[in-house]
Structure 1
Amino acid sequence: MYQEERLLKILGYLNEHHAMSVLDICAQLEVSRDTARRDIVRLVQEGVVIRTHGGVALPQLQKEIASYQERLIDETDSKRKIGKLAAMLIQDHETVILDVSTTVQAVAERISAKQITAVTHSIDIVGILSGREDLQVYVLGGYLHAKNRLLYGPSVIDKLRELRADKAFIGATAIQADGLYFPYEDDAHVKKEIARRSDQVIVVADFTKFMSRSVYRLDFDFVDILITDQEVPSEIREVLDQKNIAIVQCEQNKQLEGEN
Protein backbone atom coordinates (compact mmCIF):
# COMPACT_ATOMS: atom_id res chain seq x y z
CA MET A 1 0.00 0.00 0.00
CA TYR A 2 1.36 3.44 -0.97
CA GLN A 3 2.00 5.90 1.86
CA GLU A 4 -0.56 8.30 0.38
CA GLU A 5 -3.21 5.56 0.55
CA ARG A 6 -2.35 4.90 4.19
CA LEU A 7 -2.56 8.60 5.01
CA LEU A 8 -6.02 8.81 3.50
CA LYS A 9 -7.17 5.82 5.56
CA ILE A 10 -5.78 7.41 8.72
CA LEU A 11 -7.60 10.66 7.94
CA GLY A 12 -10.81 8.75 7.26
CA TYR A 13 -10.53 7.01 10.61
CA LEU A 14 -9.83 10.32 12.36
CA ASN A 15 -12.90 11.92 10.79
CA GLU A 16 -15.01 9.25 12.51
CA HIS A 17 -13.13 8.71 15.77
CA HIS A 18 -11.20 12.02 16.17
CA ALA A 19 -8.09 10.24 17.54
CA MET A 20 -5.91 7.30 16.55
CA SER A 21 -3.06 5.58 18.37
CA VAL A 22 0.08 4.07 16.87
CA LEU A 23 -1.31 0.64 17.77
CA ASP A 24 -4.55 1.47 15.95
CA ILE A 25 -2.60 2.42 12.83
CA CYS A 26 -0.56 -0.80 12.99
CA ALA A 27 -3.70 -2.93 13.41
CA GLN A 28 -5.92 -1.12 10.88
CA LEU A 29 -3.30 -0.85 8.12
CA GLU A 30 -1.22 -3.94 8.99
CA VAL A 31 2.04 -2.03 9.14
CA SER A 32 5.01 -1.89 11.50
CA ARG A 33 5.44 0.69 14.27
CA ASP A 34 8.21 2.36 12.24
CA THR A 35 5.91 2.75 9.24
CA ALA A 36 3.11 4.07 11.47
CA ARG A 37 5.46 6.64 13.00
CA ARG A 38 6.64 7.80 9.56
CA ASP A 39 3.03 8.28 8.49
CA ILE A 40 2.33 10.28 11.66
CA VAL A 41 5.38 12.48 11.03
CA ARG A 42 4.21 13.18 7.46
CA LEU A 43 0.72 14.19 8.60
CA VAL A 44 2.06 16.36 11.43
CA GLN A 45 4.49 18.08 9.03
CA GLU A 46 1.60 18.80 6.68
CA GLY A 47 -0.26 20.40 9.59
CA VAL A 48 -3.44 18.34 9.21
CA VAL A 49 -3.18 16.44 12.51
CA ILE A 50 -1.74 17.12 15.94
CA ARG A 51 0.47 14.68 17.78
CA THR A 52 -0.87 13.22 21.02
CA HIS A 53 0.62 10.87 23.57
CA GLY A 54 0.74 7.60 21.68
CA GLY A 55 -0.84 8.77 18.43
CA VAL A 56 -2.57 11.60 16.57
CA ALA A 57 -5.80 13.60 16.74
CA LEU A 58 -7.71 16.00 14.53
CA PRO A 59 -7.11 19.72 14.74
CA GLN A 60 -10.11 21.99 14.91
CA LEU A 61 -10.09 23.03 11.26
CA GLN A 62 -11.94 20.24 9.46
CA LYS A 63 -11.77 22.16 6.19
CA GLU A 64 -7.99 21.75 6.15
CA ILE A 65 -8.41 17.96 6.39
CA ALA A 66 -10.74 17.81 3.40
CA SER A 67 -8.44 20.06 1.37
CA TYR A 68 -5.42 17.93 2.21
CA GLN A 69 -7.25 14.71 1.27
CA GLU A 70 -8.18 16.12 -2.13
CA ARG A 71 -4.64 17.35 -2.76
CA LEU A 72 -3.15 14.05 -1.68
CA ILE A 73 -5.34 12.11 -4.11
CA ASP A 74 -4.63 14.52 -6.98
CA GLU A 75 -0.86 14.61 -6.46
CA THR A 76 -0.59 10.84 -6.04
CA ASP A 77 -2.51 10.19 -9.25
CA SER A 78 -0.35 12.66 -11.16
CA LYS A 79 2.88 11.12 -9.90
CA ARG A 80 1.75 7.62 -10.82
CA LYS A 81 0.91 8.73 -14.36
CA ILE A 82 4.29 10.43 -14.70
CA GLY A 83 6.08 7.45 -13.18
CA LYS A 84 4.40 4.98 -15.52
CA LEU A 85 5.26 7.02 -18.60
CA ALA A 86 8.85 7.68 -17.51
CA ALA A 87 9.51 4.01 -16.69
CA MET A 88 8.65 3.10 -20.28
CA LEU A 89 11.84 4.90 -21.38
CA ILE A 90 14.05 2.41 -19.54
CA GLN A 91 15.34 -0.39 -21.78
CA ASP A 92 16.66 -3.83 -20.84
CA HIS A 93 20.31 -3.95 -19.68
CA GLU A 94 20.59 -0.19 -19.14
CA THR A 95 22.20 1.54 -16.17
CA VAL A 96 19.89 4.18 -14.69
CA ILE A 97 20.38 6.64 -11.85
CA LEU A 98 17.29 7.26 -9.74
CA ASP A 99 17.29 10.49 -7.75
CA VAL A 100 15.65 11.06 -4.36
CA SER A 101 12.12 12.25 -5.14
CA THR A 102 8.59 10.98 -4.60
CA THR A 103 7.97 11.27 -8.34
CA VAL A 104 11.17 9.36 -9.16
CA GLN A 105 9.99 6.80 -6.61
CA ALA A 106 6.87 6.40 -8.76
CA VAL A 107 9.19 5.67 -11.70
CA ALA A 108 10.97 2.95 -9.69
CA GLU A 109 7.63 1.34 -8.84
CA ARG A 110 6.78 1.02 -12.55
CA ILE A 111 10.05 -0.30 -14.00
CA SER A 112 9.40 -3.31 -16.22
CA ALA A 113 12.77 -3.47 -18.02
CA LYS A 114 14.92 -6.50 -17.22
CA GLN A 115 18.57 -6.87 -16.26
CA ILE A 116 19.09 -3.19 -15.51
CA THR A 117 21.43 -1.67 -12.96
CA ALA A 118 19.68 0.92 -10.78
CA VAL A 119 21.90 3.44 -8.97
CA THR A 120 20.37 5.46 -6.14
CA HIS A 121 20.89 7.09 -2.75
CA SER A 122 17.19 6.92 -1.89
CA ILE A 123 16.33 4.57 0.97
CA ASP A 124 12.75 4.19 -0.27
CA ILE A 125 13.79 3.30 -3.82
CA VAL A 126 16.24 0.72 -2.49
CA GLY A 127 13.33 -0.81 -0.58
CA ILE A 128 11.10 -0.82 -3.67
CA LEU A 129 13.69 -2.50 -5.90
CA SER A 130 15.22 -4.85 -3.32
CA GLY A 131 12.64 -7.55 -4.08
CA ARG A 132 13.50 -7.61 -7.79
CA GLU A 133 15.76 -10.52 -8.70
CA ASP A 134 15.99 -9.47 -12.36
CA LEU A 135 17.98 -6.29 -11.69
CA GLN A 136 20.93 -5.00 -9.70
CA VAL A 137 20.77 -2.15 -7.20
CA TYR A 138 23.87 -0.07 -6.56
CA VAL A 139 23.56 2.09 -3.44
CA LEU A 140 25.49 5.36 -3.28
CA GLY A 141 26.71 5.14 0.30
CA GLY A 142 27.04 7.98 2.77
CA TYR A 143 25.52 9.33 5.96
CA LEU A 144 21.87 8.55 6.61
CA HIS A 145 19.45 11.49 6.56
CA ALA A 146 16.51 9.83 8.29
CA LYS A 147 14.02 12.66 7.76
CA ASN A 148 14.58 12.94 4.01
CA ARG A 149 15.09 9.18 3.55
CA LEU A 150 18.42 9.47 1.73
CA LEU A 151 22.16 8.96 1.99
CA TYR A 152 24.32 12.07 1.71
CA GLY A 153 27.85 13.37 2.01
CA PRO A 154 30.98 13.72 -0.17
CA SER A 155 31.14 9.95 -0.74
CA VAL A 156 27.91 10.10 -2.77
CA ILE A 157 29.47 12.48 -5.31
CA ASP A 158 32.77 10.54 -5.23
CA LYS A 159 30.93 7.34 -6.17
CA LEU A 160 28.97 9.10 -8.90
CA ARG A 161 32.22 10.24 -10.51
CA GLU A 162 33.17 6.57 -10.96
CA LEU A 163 29.96 5.76 -12.86
CA ARG A 164 28.46 6.17 -16.31
CA ALA A 165 24.70 5.77 -16.79
CA ASP A 166 22.47 5.52 -19.84
CA LYS A 167 19.70 7.53 -18.20
CA ALA A 168 19.06 9.54 -15.05
CA PHE A 169 15.69 10.41 -13.56
CA ILE A 170 15.62 13.43 -11.28
CA GLY A 171 12.89 15.40 -9.55
CA ALA A 172 12.66 19.09 -8.74
CA THR A 173 11.29 21.13 -5.87
CA ALA A 174 10.50 24.01 -8.21
CA ILE A 175 10.80 24.79 -11.92
CA GLN A 176 11.26 28.37 -13.07
CA ALA A 177 12.14 29.91 -16.43
CA ASP A 178 15.87 29.79 -15.63
CA GLY A 179 16.13 26.22 -14.36
CA LEU A 180 15.30 23.62 -11.75
CA TYR A 181 15.42 24.57 -8.07
CA PHE A 182 16.11 22.67 -4.83
CA PRO A 183 16.05 23.60 -1.14
CA TYR A 184 19.51 22.28 -0.22
CA GLU A 185 22.86 23.20 -1.77
CA ASP A 186 24.25 19.67 -1.32
CA ASP A 187 21.21 18.22 -3.09
CA ALA A 188 21.73 20.54 -6.07
CA HIS A 189 25.39 19.47 -6.27
CA VAL A 190 24.41 15.78 -6.27
CA LYS A 191 21.85 16.32 -9.03
CA LYS A 192 24.41 18.19 -11.12
CA GLU A 193 26.84 15.29 -10.80
CA ILE A 194 24.07 12.80 -11.64
CA ALA A 195 23.40 14.79 -14.81
CA ARG A 196 27.07 14.92 -15.75
CA ARG A 197 27.41 11.16 -15.41
CA SER A 198 24.37 10.30 -17.55
CA ASP A 199 23.88 10.18 -21.32
CA GLN A 200 20.27 11.29 -21.00
CA VAL A 201 18.64 13.25 -18.16
CA ILE A 202 14.89 13.00 -17.65
CA VAL A 203 13.16 15.37 -15.22
CA VAL A 204 9.88 14.11 -13.75
CA ALA A 205 7.71 16.76 -12.10
CA ASP A 206 3.99 17.39 -11.60
CA PHE A 207 2.36 20.75 -12.37
CA THR A 208 2.67 22.02 -8.77
CA LYS A 209 6.43 22.44 -9.28
CA PHE A 210 5.81 25.24 -11.77
CA MET A 211 4.09 27.23 -9.02
CA SER A 212 6.76 26.60 -6.36
CA ARG A 213 9.93 28.43 -5.37
CA SER A 214 13.20 27.22 -3.94
CA VAL A 215 16.81 28.32 -3.51
CA TYR A 216 19.54 26.39 -5.36
CA ARG A 217 19.48 26.16 -9.15
CA LEU A 218 20.35 23.51 -11.72
CA ASP A 219 20.56 24.89 -15.25
CA PHE A 220 18.31 23.52 -18.00
CA ASP A 221 21.45 22.76 -20.03
CA PHE A 222 21.72 19.50 -18.10
CA VAL A 223 18.20 18.35 -19.07
CA ASP A 224 17.09 16.34 -22.13
CA ILE A 225 13.45 15.47 -21.39
CA LEU A 226 10.78 16.86 -19.07
CA ILE A 227 7.82 14.62 -18.22
CA THR A 228 4.89 16.30 -16.52
CA ASP A 229 1.13 15.93 -16.17
CA GLN A 230 -0.28 19.28 -17.30
CA GLU A 231 0.46 22.15 -19.65
CA VAL A 232 3.84 23.79 -19.06
CA PRO A 233 3.60 27.58 -18.51
CA SER A 234 4.32 29.43 -21.74
CA GLU A 235 7.38 31.31 -20.47
CA ILE A 236 9.01 28.07 -19.36
CA ARG A 237 7.96 26.16 -22.49
CA GLU A 238 9.61 28.84 -24.63
CA VAL A 239 12.94 28.36 -22.83
CA LEU A 240 12.71 24.56 -23.07
CA ASP A 241 12.00 24.78 -26.79
CA GLN A 242 15.03 27.05 -27.28
CA LYS A 243 17.22 24.50 -25.51
CA ASN A 244 15.74 21.56 -27.48
CA ILE A 245 14.39 19.90 -24.35
CA ALA A 246 11.58 17.48 -25.18
CA ILE A 247 8.36 18.02 -23.22
CA VAL A 248 6.17 14.98 -22.64
CA GLN A 249 2.74 15.61 -21.13
CA CYS A 250 0.90 12.57 -19.76
CA GLU A 251 -2.57 13.46 -21.05
CA GLN A 252 -1.27 14.27 -24.52
CA ASN A 253 0.61 10.98 -24.60
CA LYS A 254 -2.59 9.13 -23.64
CA GLN A 255 -4.43 10.74 -26.57
CA LEU A 256 -1.66 9.74 -28.95
CA GLU A 257 -1.76 6.13 -27.70
CA GLY A 258 -5.49 6.06 -28.34
CA GLU A 259 -4.96 7.14 -31.94
CA ASN A 260 -2.49 4.35 -32.69
Structure 2
Amino acid sequence: MEPVTERWIDLDGLVNMRDLGGLPTRGGGTVVPRRLIRSDNLQDLTDADVTRVVEELGVTDIIDLRTETELHLEGEGPLRRVDALTHHHHSLLPPRAPESADEIAARALALPAREEQEARDATFWARHYLGYLDQRPDSVSAALRVVAQARGAAVVHCAAGKDRTGTVVAMALDVAGVPREAIVEDYALSAERIEAIIARIAGTDSHGPWLAKQAVADQTPRAETMEAILDAVADGWGGAPGWLRDQGWSEDEVEGLRARLTRP
Protein backbone atom coordinates (compact mmCIF):
# COMPACT_ATOMS: atom_id res chain seq x y z
CA MET A 1 0.00 0.00 0.00
CA GLU A 2 1.18 3.53 -0.75
CA PRO A 3 2.66 5.23 2.34
CA VAL A 4 -0.08 7.22 4.04
CA THR A 5 2.13 10.29 4.29
CA GLU A 6 1.94 10.62 0.52
CA ARG A 7 -1.85 10.89 0.60
CA TRP A 8 -1.96 13.99 2.79
CA ILE A 9 -2.62 17.24 0.94
CA ASP A 10 -1.26 20.13 2.99
CA LEU A 11 -2.88 23.52 2.46
CA ASP A 12 -2.58 26.61 4.64
CA GLY A 13 -6.31 26.83 5.36
CA LEU A 14 -7.08 23.28 6.55
CA VAL A 15 -5.52 20.34 8.37
CA ASN A 16 -7.28 17.12 7.33
CA MET A 17 -7.29 16.77 3.54
CA ARG A 18 -6.07 13.64 1.81
CA ASP A 19 -6.39 11.89 -1.53
CA LEU A 20 -7.85 8.38 -1.54
CA GLY A 21 -5.80 7.59 -4.64
CA GLY A 22 -3.37 4.70 -4.28
CA LEU A 23 -5.50 2.55 -1.98
CA PRO A 24 -5.58 -1.07 -3.17
CA THR A 25 -8.64 -2.92 -4.43
CA ARG A 26 -9.43 -6.58 -3.93
CA GLY A 27 -9.05 -7.25 -7.66
CA GLY A 28 -5.41 -6.18 -7.64
CA GLY A 29 -6.03 -2.63 -8.85
CA THR A 30 -5.90 0.72 -7.09
CA VAL A 31 -8.03 3.78 -6.49
CA VAL A 32 -7.20 6.44 -9.07
CA PRO A 33 -5.55 9.58 -7.66
CA ARG A 34 -7.41 12.89 -7.95
CA ARG A 35 -10.82 11.27 -8.19
CA LEU A 36 -11.94 11.28 -4.54
CA ILE A 37 -10.50 13.66 -1.94
CA ARG A 38 -11.67 13.96 1.66
CA SER A 39 -11.29 17.08 3.77
CA ASP A 40 -12.22 19.16 6.75
CA ASN A 41 -14.01 22.48 6.20
CA LEU A 42 -12.86 24.52 3.20
CA GLN A 43 -13.89 27.81 4.79
CA ASP A 44 -10.41 29.21 5.46
CA LEU A 45 -8.55 28.50 2.24
CA THR A 46 -6.09 31.15 1.11
CA ASP A 47 -5.92 32.45 -2.45
CA ALA A 48 -2.94 30.18 -3.04
CA ASP A 49 -4.90 27.23 -1.65
CA VAL A 50 -7.79 27.93 -4.00
CA THR A 51 -5.46 28.04 -6.99
CA ARG A 52 -3.92 24.72 -5.99
CA VAL A 53 -7.31 23.06 -5.45
CA VAL A 54 -8.54 24.05 -8.89
CA GLU A 55 -5.42 23.96 -11.02
CA GLU A 56 -3.19 21.31 -9.43
CA LEU A 57 -5.69 18.95 -7.82
CA GLY A 58 -8.17 19.31 -10.67
CA VAL A 59 -11.19 19.64 -8.40
CA THR A 60 -14.49 20.22 -10.21
CA ASP A 61 -17.06 19.27 -7.55
CA ILE A 62 -17.43 20.13 -3.86
CA ILE A 63 -19.70 17.90 -1.75
CA ASP A 64 -20.57 19.78 1.45
CA LEU A 65 -22.08 17.55 4.16
CA ARG A 66 -22.55 20.29 6.75
CA THR A 67 -25.90 21.31 8.21
CA GLU A 68 -27.98 24.35 7.38
CA THR A 69 -26.86 25.87 10.70
CA GLU A 70 -23.18 25.45 9.87
CA LEU A 71 -23.67 27.13 6.51
CA HIS A 72 -25.67 29.92 8.12
CA LEU A 73 -23.14 30.66 10.86
CA GLU A 74 -19.96 30.28 8.84
CA GLY A 75 -21.06 31.81 5.55
CA GLU A 76 -19.73 31.09 2.09
CA GLY A 77 -16.10 30.06 1.74
CA PRO A 78 -13.71 31.26 -0.96
CA LEU A 79 -14.40 28.34 -3.29
CA ARG A 80 -17.96 29.59 -3.74
CA ARG A 81 -16.52 32.41 -5.83
CA VAL A 82 -14.91 30.01 -8.32
CA ASP A 83 -17.22 29.63 -11.31
CA ALA A 84 -15.44 26.48 -12.49
CA LEU A 85 -16.56 24.54 -9.41
CA THR A 86 -19.94 22.96 -8.83
CA HIS A 87 -21.13 22.91 -5.21
CA HIS A 88 -23.45 20.24 -3.83
CA HIS A 89 -24.97 20.55 -0.35
CA HIS A 90 -26.13 17.26 1.16
CA SER A 91 -26.49 17.47 4.94
CA LEU A 92 -26.35 14.11 6.70
CA LEU A 93 -28.49 15.29 9.62
CA PRO A 94 -32.29 15.75 9.63
CA PRO A 95 -33.25 19.14 8.18
CA ARG A 96 -34.02 21.88 10.68
CA ALA A 97 -34.15 25.65 10.66
CA PRO A 98 -30.71 27.24 11.14
CA GLU A 99 -29.91 27.95 14.78
CA SER A 100 -28.18 30.99 16.21
CA ALA A 101 -24.90 30.77 18.10
CA ASP A 102 -26.77 31.42 21.36
CA GLU A 103 -29.21 28.58 20.70
CA ILE A 104 -26.36 26.17 20.03
CA ALA A 105 -24.58 27.20 23.21
CA ALA A 106 -27.75 26.70 25.24
CA ARG A 107 -28.31 23.20 23.84
CA ALA A 108 -24.71 22.26 24.54
CA LEU A 109 -25.01 23.38 28.15
CA ALA A 110 -28.15 21.29 28.55
CA LEU A 111 -26.54 18.08 27.28
CA PRO A 112 -27.06 15.40 29.95
CA ALA A 113 -23.97 13.94 31.55
CA ARG A 114 -25.01 10.46 30.37
CA GLU A 115 -24.80 11.55 26.73
CA GLU A 116 -21.41 13.11 27.38
CA GLN A 117 -20.19 9.75 28.69
CA GLU A 118 -21.66 7.90 25.70
CA ALA A 119 -19.72 10.18 23.38
CA ARG A 120 -16.54 8.62 24.73
CA ASP A 121 -17.62 5.17 23.58
CA ALA A 122 -16.78 3.93 20.07
CA THR A 123 -20.23 2.32 19.88
CA PHE A 124 -21.77 5.78 20.24
CA TRP A 125 -20.02 6.90 17.08
CA ALA A 126 -20.97 3.71 15.23
CA ARG A 127 -24.65 4.33 16.03
CA HIS A 128 -24.21 7.94 15.03
CA TYR A 129 -22.77 7.03 11.64
CA LEU A 130 -25.47 4.43 10.98
CA GLY A 131 -27.96 7.22 11.70
CA TYR A 132 -26.67 9.00 8.61
CA LEU A 133 -27.59 6.00 6.49
CA ASP A 134 -30.93 5.59 8.23
CA GLN A 135 -32.07 9.22 8.49
CA ARG A 136 -30.47 10.74 5.39
CA PRO A 137 -30.03 7.99 2.82
CA ASP A 138 -31.02 10.57 0.22
CA SER A 139 -27.99 12.70 1.05
CA VAL A 140 -25.55 9.79 1.21
CA SER A 141 -26.82 8.47 -2.12
CA ALA A 142 -26.71 11.94 -3.71
CA ALA A 143 -23.15 12.53 -2.49
CA LEU A 144 -21.98 9.25 -3.98
CA ARG A 145 -23.73 10.05 -7.25
CA VAL A 146 -21.74 13.28 -7.47
CA VAL A 147 -18.53 11.29 -7.02
CA ALA A 148 -19.60 8.95 -9.81
CA GLN A 149 -20.45 11.77 -12.22
CA ALA A 150 -17.77 14.38 -11.44
CA ARG A 151 -15.71 15.62 -14.39
CA GLY A 152 -12.59 15.90 -12.24
CA ALA A 153 -11.75 15.39 -8.60
CA ALA A 154 -14.61 15.46 -6.10
CA VAL A 155 -13.92 16.78 -2.60
CA VAL A 156 -16.15 15.43 0.18
CA HIS A 157 -16.02 17.51 3.34
CA CYS A 158 -17.82 18.38 6.55
CA ALA A 159 -16.39 20.32 9.51
CA ALA A 160 -13.69 18.00 10.84
CA GLY A 161 -13.51 15.69 7.84
CA LYS A 162 -13.67 12.54 9.95
CA ASP A 163 -17.27 11.55 10.84
CA ARG A 164 -19.77 12.54 8.14
CA THR A 165 -17.01 12.60 5.55
CA GLY A 166 -15.65 9.31 6.87
CA THR A 167 -19.01 7.60 6.43
CA VAL A 168 -19.52 8.72 2.81
CA VAL A 169 -15.92 7.94 1.89
CA ALA A 170 -16.14 4.47 3.45
CA MET A 171 -19.23 3.72 1.37
CA ALA A 172 -17.46 4.87 -1.79
CA LEU A 173 -14.37 2.80 -1.02
CA ASP A 174 -16.47 -0.28 -0.30
CA VAL A 175 -18.13 0.08 -3.71
CA ALA A 176 -14.66 0.47 -5.25
CA GLY A 177 -13.62 -2.85 -3.76
CA VAL A 178 -11.06 -1.49 -1.32
CA PRO A 179 -10.34 -4.15 1.35
CA ARG A 180 -11.94 -3.68 4.72
CA GLU A 181 -8.63 -3.19 6.53
CA ALA A 182 -7.62 -0.37 4.18
CA ILE A 183 -10.97 1.40 4.64
CA VAL A 184 -10.59 1.15 8.41
CA GLU A 185 -7.00 2.39 8.24
CA ASP A 186 -7.97 5.41 6.17
CA TYR A 187 -10.76 6.31 8.58
CA ALA A 188 -8.47 6.05 11.60
CA LEU A 189 -5.77 8.10 9.87
CA SER A 190 -7.50 11.33 10.94
CA ALA A 191 -6.34 10.49 14.48
CA GLU A 192 -2.84 11.53 13.43
CA ARG A 193 -4.05 15.12 13.21
CA ILE A 194 -6.91 15.11 15.68
CA GLU A 195 -5.50 17.82 17.93
CA ALA A 196 -5.11 20.21 15.00
CA ILE A 197 -8.56 19.25 13.69
CA ILE A 198 -10.25 19.98 17.01
CA ALA A 199 -8.28 23.17 17.60
CA ARG A 200 -9.41 24.43 14.21
CA ILE A 201 -13.16 23.91 14.68
CA ALA A 202 -13.27 24.63 18.42
CA GLY A 203 -13.38 28.33 17.62
CA THR A 204 -16.55 28.09 15.55
CA ASP A 205 -19.99 28.94 16.90
CA SER A 206 -21.42 25.72 15.51
CA HIS A 207 -18.96 23.32 17.18
CA GLY A 208 -17.14 25.21 19.92
CA PRO A 209 -19.82 24.83 22.64
CA TRP A 210 -19.96 21.06 22.17
CA LEU A 211 -16.21 20.56 22.02
CA ALA A 212 -15.70 22.59 25.17
CA LYS A 213 -17.35 19.75 27.11
CA GLN A 214 -15.19 16.99 25.64
CA ALA A 215 -11.58 15.88 25.66
CA VAL A 216 -9.70 15.44 22.40
CA ALA A 217 -9.74 11.68 23.03
CA ASP A 218 -13.54 11.72 22.87
CA GLN A 219 -13.34 12.85 19.24
CA THR A 220 -10.48 10.60 18.15
CA PRO A 221 -11.43 8.12 15.38
CA ARG A 222 -11.12 4.48 16.43
CA ALA A 223 -10.77 1.51 14.13
CA GLU A 224 -13.54 -0.41 15.89
CA THR A 225 -16.05 2.32 14.98
CA MET A 226 -15.51 1.87 11.24
CA GLU A 227 -15.38 -1.89 11.63
CA ALA A 228 -18.85 -1.75 13.20
CA ILE A 229 -20.20 0.35 10.31
CA LEU A 230 -18.81 -1.98 7.68
CA ASP A 231 -20.20 -4.98 9.58
CA ALA A 232 -23.66 -3.40 9.73
CA VAL A 233 -23.69 -2.52 6.02
CA ALA A 234 -22.44 -6.00 5.11
CA ASP A 235 -25.03 -7.70 7.33
CA GLY A 236 -27.90 -5.52 6.15
CA TRP A 237 -27.19 -5.15 2.43
CA GLY A 238 -24.22 -7.32 1.56
CA GLY A 239 -22.03 -4.20 1.41
CA ALA A 240 -22.27 -0.66 0.06
CA PRO A 241 -23.20 -1.79 -3.48
CA GLY A 242 -26.28 -3.53 -2.06
CA TRP A 243 -27.13 -0.46 0.01
CA LEU A 244 -27.03 1.69 -3.13
CA ARG A 245 -29.21 -0.75 -5.04
CA ASP A 246 -31.67 -0.51 -2.14
CA GLN A 247 -31.69 3.27 -2.73
CA GLY A 248 -32.69 2.78 -6.35
CA TRP A 249 -29.32 2.61 -8.08
CA SER A 250 -29.11 0.28 -11.06
CA GLU A 251 -26.32 -2.25 -11.40
CA ASP A 252 -24.85 -0.12 -14.20
CA GLU A 253 -24.84 2.94 -11.93
CA VAL A 254 -23.09 1.05 -9.14
CA GLU A 255 -20.55 -0.23 -11.63
CA GLY A 256 -20.13 3.33 -12.93
CA LEU A 257 -19.08 4.54 -9.46
CA ARG A 258 -16.66 1.63 -9.14
CA ALA A 259 -15.20 2.30 -12.58
CA ARG A 260 -14.87 6.00 -11.87
CA LEU A 261 -12.75 5.35 -8.79
CA THR A 262 -10.57 2.42 -9.83
CA ARG A 263 -8.11 1.17 -12.41
CA PRO A 264 -6.69 -2.32 -12.96
| TM-score (ref. length: structure 1) | 0.28
Higher strand share: 1
Higher helix share: 2
- Higher RCO, 1 vs 2 (CA within 8 Å, ≥6 residues apart): 2
| TM-score (ref. length: structure 2) | 0.28
> Quick check: which has more Rg, 1 or 2?
1
